[in-house]
Amino acid sequence: MPLRLRKFIGAVALFVLVVVWALVAMALAQFPAIRDHAVLSVAYYVVAGIGWVLPAMPIVAWMSGSRNR
């Protein structure tokens, strides 16, 4: 697969990942256990804010073609 096509598909996949991740994170943040406790709320937003990086790493690696072919 050409590198330009990989980058395009990967960019679309990353965009979809971030949008879906944000929507799910906002929905989960409305649970009373998270919403009503300040410390738990801050911890949740830190984890949710950084957590999207783990599923994004394989997409970026595939985009750059750094995996074995």
In 3-state terms the chain splits into helix, strand, coil percentages (rounded to 5) of: 80, 0, 20
Q: Structure pTM?
A: 0.80
pLDDT digits (tens, 9 = 90+) for 19-44: 999 999 999 999 998 889 999 999 99
pLDDT digits (tens, 9 = 90+) for 41-69: 999 999 999 999 999 999 999 998 865 55
Residue 54: per-residue pLDDT:
93
